[in-house]
Chains A and B, each alone.
Chain A
Amino acid sequence: MTFLYRLTITSALALSLGACATVDQKAAFDGVRTTIGARVNQDLIWRHDTATDAEVAAKVDALLANEIALESAVQIALFNNRALQARYAEIGIANADLVAAGLLSNPVLDIMVRPTTNPASGANLEFGLAQSVLDIFMRPARKRAAQADFDRAQGEVASAVINTVAEVREAYVEALGARNSLRVVEEVYAAADASRDMAAAFHSAGNISDLQWAEEQALTEDTAALVDDAKLKAVETAEALAALLNVDASALKLPQQLPALPQSDPSIANAETTALEKRLDVAAKRKAVTARLETLRLKTSWRLWHEAGLAVSAERDGDKQWAIGPTLSLSLPIFDQGGPEVARAAAEVLQAENELKNLESHVRADVRTALAKVETARRQAERYNKTILPLKQDILRLKQERYNFMLIGVFDVLVAKRDETSAYMNYVNTVRAYWLARAELANAIGGAPIETPSTANGEKQ
């Protein structure tokens, strides 16, 4: 009976080890929420039940009630983008795996009944309860590996969130840029249209030829085609943004113009180091390396022992006497000493390490490129705002003075007006490039929030 007693102890132990079998998905999601919160400075909610869903829907509606600023678009996406919600579920899956990894494999009960021809002796009965011993010893290591896997899954989801944030920012800038450009193209058209009206007056007075009149009309129509293009672009970009936010484009109150450039660019000390610390794809890759190292360690320690079973069996033979005794089953490392498995694990470690180094190199390059883009876009935007636009305004004024003294005609003045407006279009493009670069930089260093000034770029200096 001593053995039975010990079996009971072992089973109780195993049960106690496996008892923590509830899966806490909320705690698992909070990890991502904290990670994102620390980087993007926005809240994350997993709409996993109807109550939460209603609560988040109300928050989204509140945000949609106002004109959408860059970061509120990001917040709406985090609440409302269903692709993200789908990814949040991945955390639940990984979490379940993690919990499962903490459980012992269940003991195996064998029951064997062998009826005999001798009725006196009754059936031959055999009971066996077997538990994988190796499983017990490997459990902590296996759990560590599963934890690493969970962390990686969490990291990947967080990374996906960050990517969506970047997409939203880009889409937002594109949508505003397109609206902004449309307004300017309409002004360019207004100049061409006025020029056509003027040409009509000259033509009906008999002062310009059919040729000049046709040229003037063609020019105006060309410009009208540009307006159509700009209109479509505004629709496309607004729809792209709305799609990312999973709302109707008509529900978006977008500003008419891009925000003005801030007084200065954010100073990011050691941007490359920051990026390597904060970037979630880098963190995920690091965790992959850790997980693989753990796997390798595990494979190395237990390379010889593929299977080890400990069991207890009881048998009642024909004499109706119970015979009870332990059983040990062990796979003998004669042919397969685990070498290939270890080699595979080692190669996988190398693979992950090289992938990490490659990623780090790309991250550094991304950061440097984004910084250069921000700097260039600022320089260009400021050149347009402080030099080129004032010069174009001067040119227009000086052309008007020339018109006043009959040195040039009205058409030349209208061309100057068109040129001035076209220069403003180039300026809008530089502002757009600036905010795209800022979004790229924010993404490159891990998703940092972007502060936008409340003034629009249209307020000419």
Chain B
Amino acid sequence: MTSSRRNFFWSSLTGLGASVGASLVGRAALAQDPQPQTSAPTQQGYTPVRTLNGVTLPYEMKDGVKEFHLTAEEFEHEFAPGSVAKCWGYNGRTPGPTIEAVEGDRLRILVTNNLKEHTSIHWHGILLPSGMDGVGGLSQPHIQPGETFAYEFTLRQHGTHMYHPHADEMVQMAVGMMGMFIIHPKNGEPKSIDRDYVILMHNWALHPGTYRPDPAVMQDFDLWTFNSKVFPAIEHMVARTNERIRIRVGNLSMWNHPFHLHGHQFHVTGGDGGRWPEAQWRSEVTEIIGVGQTRDIEFVGIPGDWAVHCHMSHHTMNAMGHEIPNTLGVNQAEAMQKVSALLPGYMAMGENGMAEHQDHSGHMKGPKNTLPMMMGKGPFGNLEMGGMFTVIKIRDDQPTGDYSDPGWYKNPQGTVAYKVSGPKRPSKAAPVDHSKMDHSQMDHSQMDHSQH
């Protein structure tokens, strides 16, 4: 108990924690069920999935039926420290808890609607009776506010699937209602999986300075998320060298995302349509996850710190203006004389590129509730990333089943890119006095993801 209270405390402090857990009583409960730091195969023989920054939905066995309970509701969600919003989701979180079951299981999923409008849940990609498909008005009556509906069906497949509302879908998805639905094969994996990660991609029109996602936006989104978090608040993945790692990626955003893994060639081994026969596996380093699709990628871990991200470069940025004048190569020095007199505190930026922005955003105030465009620090400096970016840390000595943070990779001697020539770097002097900056919020290295 002491330990879990401590975990909660940590989670709240870092703001990155699984601060809200699954609730069987149908309301957002505070601080329970942060993901354990270690895991082992279950009684049914599968390696439980690990939803980055998320949780797996607990169930109760009732007369041989696995009974789950999802409550649709509004709550405050944090995308990263410094940016929160009123979102909708399940059991106090977005994405909702991952439903995890085994082919052949009979499930009863209770859905309570605590929203102020009706809803429904569609079990995306799952084979089930038409009346359980969750399309409001087509498959079933809508679930009105205050009502609880039961969905009950037997799993006849395995694979990576999703769930989301099919009632006022545009709005309800835009504000965060979605989740992953993982079905393990009943006869076990042909190649056993050591680490099984779950990522659900989404986009958000959380306009700078606002506190509620705007459902009307179709293309010009502000935040691009893995499991409703942006870098550097996205938990990193961890594995031991030579472990077989699977990342299951779903996409309920409005864009296709080229999901890219550094340092490995992976196999695409399945999708919403189930696991592919090994002959169909493709070797890739980037796999486009289309809107409404899921893909499983599998690979054997190679030691190092490897970036994992969407390859749309704007999707690894946080909110920025897309109609700003292009400052590249613009020497503002002369104009500054007049501008400074009018706008005290104005700083000319962007002449030589935008990288300086990460440092400036530490001491130059931005709009409320708005994350700097680029963030994150690594062992060698600023990462200048945001949005759909995280790191997988693979170590020779990471204990099996241990998900705790091993720290930055210690590169073997002679295996880091090195400077050959160029002017001597000033010892500590930087072009701008950054001494007063508070980078702690953005320092990825100081974020403790081990508590999730």
Residues of A bordering B, CB below 8 Å: 190-191, 193-194, 197-198, 200-202, 205-208, 396, 398, 400-411, 413-414, 417
Contact = CB atoms under 8 A, between A and B. Distances in A.
B291 interface: no
A190, A197, A396, A405: which has the most chain B beta carbons within 10 Å? A405
Contacts of B170: none
12 contacts: A191-B342, A197-B338, A200-B334, A201-B331, A205-B330, A405-B370, A406-B354, A407-B320, A407-B367, A409-B327, A410-B348, A413-B346
A413 B343 contact: yes
Contacts of B440: none
Nearest to A404: B364
Contact of B324 (A194, A404, A406): A406
B335 A190 contact: no
A404 B350 CA distance: 11
B370 A410 contact: no
Contacts of A413: 343, 346
A407 B208 contact: yes
B338 A194 contact: yes
B325 A409 contact: yes
Contacts of A197: 334-335, 337-339
Interface in B326-367: 326-332, 334-335, 337-339, 341-343, 345-350, 354, 357, 360-361, 364-367
A207 B339 contact: no
Contacts of B335: 194, 197-198, 200-201
A198 B351 CA distance: 13
B381 interface: no
Given A406-B320, A406-B373, A407-B321, A201 B334 contact: yes
A440 B334 CA distance: 49
B97 interface: no
B366 A402 contact: yes
B372 interface: yes
B319 interface: yes
Contact of B329 (A205, A400, A409, A417): A205
A101 B345 CA distance: 81
B325 A202 contact: yes
B324 A205 contact: no
Grouping DSSP codes into helix (H, G, I), strand (E, B) and loop, the B interface class, with mixed when no group exceeds half, is: loop
A408 B324 contact: yes
Contacts of B364: 404-405
Nearest to B325: A409
B346 A207 contact: no
Given A194-B338, A201-B335, A405-B373, A207 B328 contact: yes
A320 B345 CA distance: 121
Nearest to A398: B367
B325 A207 contact: yes
A411 B354 CA distance: 18
B324 A407 contact: yes
B339 A408 contact: no
Contacts of B329: 205-207
B339 A198 contact: yes
A408 B346 CA distance: 13
Nearest to A408: B321
A405 B347 CA distance: 11
B346 A403 contact: yes
Contact of A202 (B209, B330, B337): B330
Contacts of B373: 405-406
A402 B343 contact: no
B357 to A, nearest CB: 6
Contacts of A206: 329
A78 to B, nearest CB: 44
Contacts of B208: 402, 405, 407
B34 to A, nearest CB: 32
Contacts of A400: 343, 345-346
A403 B321 CA distance: 9
Given A405-B366, A405-B367, A410 B342 contact: no
B192 to A, nearest CB: 46
A213 B334 CA distance: 17
A198 B335 CA distance: 5
A417 B343 contact: yes
Contacts of B332: 198, 201, 410
Contacts of A410: 325, 332, 339, 346, 348
Given A198-B339, A409-B325, 15 more contacts: A194-B341, A197-B334, A201-B330, A205-B328, A207-B326, A208-B325, A401-B366, A401-B367, A402-B208, A404-B360, A404-B361, A405-B361, A405-B372, A409-B321, A410-B339
Contacts of B337: 197
B331 A205 contact: yes
B367 A190 contact: no
A270 B307 CA distance: 82
Most buried by A among B321, B357, B373: B321
A205 B329 CA distance: 6
B349 to A, nearest CB: 7
Contact of A207 (B319, B330, B334): B330
A355 to B, nearest CB: 59
Best-surrounded residue of B320, B324, B341 (most CB of chain A within 10 A): B324
B386 to A, nearest CB: 11
Interface in B179-209: 208-209
Contacts of A208: 325-326
A400 to B, nearest CB: 7
A407 B334 CA distance: 23
Contacts of B342: 190-191, 194, 414, 417
Contacts of B347: 404
A392 to B, nearest CB: 14
A406 B371 CA distance: 11
Contact of B343 (A201, A207, A414): A414
Nearest to B331: A201
A405 B317 CA distance: 12
Name the 5 nearest CB pairs between A and B, nearest first: A405-B366, A197-B335, A194-B338, A404-B364, A409-B325
A403 B360 CA distance: 11
Most buried by A among B208, B325, B326, B357: B325
Given A401-B366, A404-B366, A409 B372 contact: no
A404 B365 contact: yes
A193 B347 CA distance: 18
Nearest to A198: B335
- Between A206, A402, A410, A417, the greatest number of chain B beta carbons within 10 A of the residue's beta carbon is seen for A410
A421 to B, nearest CB: 9
Nearest to B361: A405
